Structure 1
């Protein structure tokens, strides 16, 4: 599996298992731009990869520093204005955003290290779906150029046969490695 595909699966699985109330996690493909064409349960989190700048490690592995973006979508019909009878309900999405942040901050995986929040902002014009963009910086190791990466680990069985009479004297020192 690709580096970013694997990273997406690790993060989406972690969020699904660790953020109470989260109903849906997906790759951000513009689902929030036209809510009439995309039906999904809410609250939801959509993941996308921003720009990564890569440096070489001297092998076929590159290390990139960049942004992973999370769009948190919470459906909310309550009113947040001062004096509203359901103001607390209207502002509950902030609590959900904090749950997502608590799960993501410092998270590391197979190819990525320590997600660190660097920005957040409201994303407007989604009717009664409140969307917050959370951006996290991390390093991403990309070993996709290494053709040997996809090798299959074998589980060999080791057979040792002892011979009573050796044909010549064998001396094994402490530094001998098989």
Structure 2
């Protein structure tokens, strides 16, 4: 199941007429296609997005090809750049604190919406292949305990994740 439609993105970017994104029923099933579509709609090349977000072009390519999934801070850098701001112009303390400045309320709103779109797409990618998981009218079929478990699992180190997976496999096969 997918989560974003071109119709919603056209509306988000205020596109109409010739600029309207075709195929209303096309939906994004992964983070990479959503990021690439937003980047192209904002008329950025991947190199320009890399420069404005202070993220390497190769990493952006990996994101767009679903090789890697970004952290919250990377998503915020991308969103800041996608609304036309230059992350590299912030001071070191602003970068470290995640402080972003906007000249208008509409920029703030657009930034928050892009961040939420990208986080939703990333989070969907993290859980879409879990056996038994499905979306029902936009809602997950996981209980709150299951979601809490997944959130806790995502915070573990790679080594701890592997140890937990090994232990779960042991429990399931005993």
Bin of the TM-score, shorter chain as denominator length:
under 0.3
TM-score between the two structures when normalised by the length of structure 1: 0.25
Q: TM-score, normalised by structure 2?
A: 0.26
| Greater relative contact order, per chain length (Cα 8 Å cut-off, separation 6+) | 1
Question: Radius of gyration: which is bigger?
Answer: 1
Structure with more of its chain in strand, by fraction = 1
